Amino acid sequence: MHRDPALIERRLHRVLTQRIVPAVHADAVALDVAAWTVPGEPVPAAEALAASYEPVRPGHRWGPAWSTCWFRISGTVPAAWAGRRVEAVLDLGFDATKPGFAAEGLVHRADGSVVKALNPRNGWLTVAESAEGGEEFTYWIEAAANPLILDDGPGGVPFLPTRRGDRAAWLEDGGATAADEPLYRLARAELTVFEPGVWELAQDFDVLHGLITELPADSTRRWQVLDGVEAALDAVDLHDIAGTAAAARALLAPLLAERAGDSAHRISAVGHAHIDTAWLWPLRETVRKVTRTVANAVNLMDEHPEYRFVMSQAQQLAWLKEHRPELFARAAEKAAAGQFLPTGSLWVEPDTNITGGESLVRQFVHGKRFYLEEFGTETEEMWLPDTFGYNAALPQLMKLAGVRWFLTQKISWNTTNSFPHHTFWWEGIDGTRIFSHFPPVDTYNAELSGAELAHAERNFKEKGPAGRSLVPFGYGDGGGGPTREMLGRAARLADLAGSPRVDIEKPADFFEKAHAEYGAKAPVWSGELYLELHRGTLTSQLKTKQGNRRSEHLLREAELWCATATVRTGAAYPYAQLDRLWKTVLTHQFHDILPGSSIAWVHREAEETYARVTAELTALVDEAQRALAGPADADGAALVFNAAPYARGGVPALGAEPAPEPVPAASAPGGPLVLDNGLLRVQVDERGLVTSVFDLTEEREALPPGGSANLLQLHQDFPNQWDAWDVDVFYRNTVTDLTEADEVTAVDGGVRVVRTVGSSTVTQTLTLLPGARRLDIDTEVDWRERERLLKAAFPLDLRADHSRGEIQFGHTQRPTHSNTSWEAAKFEFCAHRWLHVAEPGWGMAVVNDSTYGHEITRDVREDGGTTTTVRLSLLRGARFPDPEADLGTHRLRYALVVGATLGDAIREGYAFNLPERRVPGSAASVAPLVSVDHEAVVVEAVKLADDGSGDVVVRLFESLGGRAVTTLAAGFPLAGAVLTDLLERPLPDAPAVDGGRLTLRPFQIVTVRLTPGA
């Protein structure tokens, strides 16, 4: 007998997809459908249910981009269907290949309560579990006409510029005709009988088809399955599938009963729906996506008690509580039953490269606190599958927040080096280790298909000593999460020969088992988890990044001065306002907002939000400082407030002193293009380039022979894909040095340079303040370039083997060479306020107020010397997903610090971002609430405890990478001091804070809670 397995596979695929799956819903009758289009933004359900509807039928076109159409469906269950399960099947115009990225619907009852969502692969609605016949019913569907931004080009080509990312701007620009064009067509609206036997047969065939395609061609098991499947196909009467399904299933039953055995790879399947808090849709649409997804999750839990589903962003559940309290209550009930699992420990799934250290602390604080208060759940995992790299301070932050486990997925997107582990210990810069997992399935939107599970097993790098991995399954981004078909697969794959064994479990169950199995032997990865992709997110959408940076520093100031005013003057502390403002800033640190990879709508709203945050925080700072400064005198006395963690200009860290007399600007004795303050002499030539930076103290030139600093360079920037996300290495192949100046003139205390850059204008002012070893460069750009990258280069005459760049609560050391592919892949990297390079005895730092993308290259000159070049990425001009990203006027500042030690770099980074504030007042001074006496110890936050007790909370860390012993002194009577976790709870077994004496290991973060005395 000659057998052709390919013939059987093709037959199975066609019969399954074209005959069996359609037969799941039988005896269809048309529904009565009416529609109402919302005139503007979405409205509450009560308003929609009371609206006037017009009859429509399949074929009806609806949905201009971003609009909402409500459909009312009604009908009567035929009497002949008594005792049967009756379902409505609806197709709003879905594209089944793109769940989550286009049209979605949410079904409501007459009282406005939610039933479930309708999605491209989940278009059914149960009308009656067991019909009586003759029942009348009506439902309302809120249908969202979200445009398919990613594939919006002709023919569905991705990454082409589209104006659909900002409806308001599109209309203002005269695009009303195109904006009003309906995107979708109602394709199906029928009442059907659900055939459970046919559905079960479809799942049987589906799972066995997955086995056939993944088992080795010559394996006995594959041939057994082929034979059984062929026999079952023969048993199916294509004209009576429901009547023959049981016979076919009986033939398949032995194949599905053969067990995998104890040695099979174990899959912990975790129901999940990754929902971007904003991306190719605005924040308001995320609120609706969350509602739809949670509605599906709890609906599915009613029929499947084994189903477990995780939600990983507290902000999204907070929105659900605010906008859909009845659905939130259902989720809370399922959480109490152990099915709905708040997880992740974070407020949102943030970017962890750009987000500041104290902000990451608050991501944990607000995330964990929400879960504790609303669900009584102490989360123990950091669930962050999708962000663009992971800084090396995170392990310590996780531990201090009570987190034991870490999960990510995005590192599978590396384009150069394959990450060598899937289960491992991740070690941070301070030595803290967190047990971590990187699912080998390589997706966080799995379907539990045979191909995915086989890939997970083949790909798993720890086979042998370890035998289990985790698979997050469910359609994300509004795709509706897991489906009943996925649960059907999981049930059949629980113990099936030829497949990994699948258990639906909680994340904690997986981590406990994996740790017990492999924790003692797991390898260690030390340092950052650098994503070898999406490097452009360090630079895209500058105004969004500036809004975040400035909000972070204003929050520091507001907490510091408000706490000081409360302790010193009894002023009320703005607990609720600060809580709200923190949550607003944290939400906008989501990993597609802060990195600049969202549509224009998102970034326009973010800029408006940051402006409101800035105004509120500035008002809080002003009010607190006025209370501390006292009434103004007629003689114009004023105090200078210093929020930086280092003293400067005679003003102590975190305190205020009387304002000194104004200091004259630095002189320029060598002519109009020479700046000299007795410490540095800087020469600027007729091109506006810095040609000499001479350290007068060390008698050393900072620039290499013939080198020019503050050299602006323009690159072509057209990555292969993912425009706003990526900077591909070939951008370096083309560069234009901007050496022509429109104007180079001496101004008071500095030099002004104006350049034309394509269609853009760059105006820079270079200043050298008295007593400073820092050349400040204030840059204003009217940016009109598209698909170009603007960098600022500083070639330095020093041989640095490595750089040190600020990250959260410390710094990361990186080699300046590219010996290996791992080093070469880090051609663009993140640093926060400063970057430092040095050779023994002398160094240089570059500090900034809003730049994150950095680059270092090293070259040996003909004279034998080495030029180490530091470059900052200032602006980009990506055209997708926002075709007008970064257009407009920007102001950004950076500076070159000469002869800088590592400590100097840290100090200047804070000073550059926390300017002194001059406030009229008659107070003699404002003593700091707290102080430390070791230069390496940085006070990062001073605030009042969140519980309203009046305790003062201080967070500090060791910044140089060494050990430090310091005394934390309180500037107020003290009743007690304890070390706490990030949630301000006393640490168990923590050493006593004896006399304020603290011993810190390298990069250690310490939170101290101080109770004021009488």
Catalytic residue annotation:
386
Quick check: helix, strand or coil at residue 846? strand
Cβ neighbours of 110 (radius 10 Å): 10
Angle of helix 542-569 versus helix 575-587 axis, rounded to 10: 160
Token pair 């400590």 is found at: 903
C-beta neighbour count of 700 within 10 angstroms: 15
| Rounded CA separation 369/377 (Å) | 9
Residue 591 has what DSSP assignment?
T
Residue 753 burial (CB count, 10 A) = 24
CB 481 within 8 A of CB 316: no
Crossing angle (nearest 10°) for helices 600-629 and 542-569:
20
Quote the CA–CA distance of 1009 and 978 in Å, as a whole number.
5
Q: How is 593-657 classified by DSSP, letter by letter?
A: TTTT-S-HHHHHHHHHHHHHHHHHHHHHHHHHHHHHH-SPPTT--EEEEE-SSS-BTTBPTTEEE
Q: Would you call 676 exposed, middle or buried from its count of C-beta atoms within 10 A (0-12, 13-18, 19+)?
A: middle
Q: Quick count: other Cβ atoms within 10 Å of Cβ 992?
A: 10
Residue 342 CA to residue 331 CA, distance in Å, equals 10
What is d(CA 317, CA 319) in angstroms, rounded to the nearest whole number?
A: 5
Measured distance CA(558)–CA(476) in Å, rounded:
38
Measured at the CA of 71, the angle between CA 68 and CA 74, to 5 degrees, comes to 165
Show Cβ contacts of residue 185 under 8 Å, excluding neighbours closer than 6 positions. 59, 60, 61, 62, 93
Tokens of 895: 């500076």
Question: From CA 910, how far away is CA 912, in angstroms rounded?
Answer: 5
Angle subtended at Cα 905 by Cα 901 and Cα 906, rounded to the nearest 5 degrees: 120
Q: Confirm if 850 and 542 have CB atoms less than 8 A apart.
A: yes
**Is the separation of the CB atoms in 462 and 423 below 8 Å?**
yes
Residue 179 phi, psi dihedral angles, 5° rounding = -70, -25
Q: Is 646 left (phi over 0), alpha (psi -120 to 50) or beta?
A: beta
Q: Are 209 and 13 in contact (CB under 8 A)?
A: yes
How far apart CA 330 and CA 10 sit, in angstroms, is 44
Cα(721)–Cα(75) distance, integer angstroms: 48
Query: In angstroms, rounded to a whole number, what is the distance separating the alpha carbons of residues 27 and 18?
Result: 17
Q: Which residues contact 42 (CB under 8 A, 6 or more apart)?
A: 68, 142, 144, 284, 288
Tell me how far the alpha carbon of residue 317 is from its chain's centroid.
17
Three-state DSSP state, 168: helix
SS3 339: coil
Judge contact between 626 and 917, C-beta under 8 A: no
Phi and psi, residue 198, nearest 5°: -70, -40
Question: Do residues 793 and 835 make contact, with C-beta atoms less than 8 angstroms apart?
Answer: no
Q: Could you check whether the bond before residue 662 is cis, i.e. omega within 30 degrees of 0?
A: no
Residue pair 590/351 in contact (Cβ under 8 Å)? The answer is: yes
Q: Are 716 and 734 in contact (CB under 8 A)?
A: yes
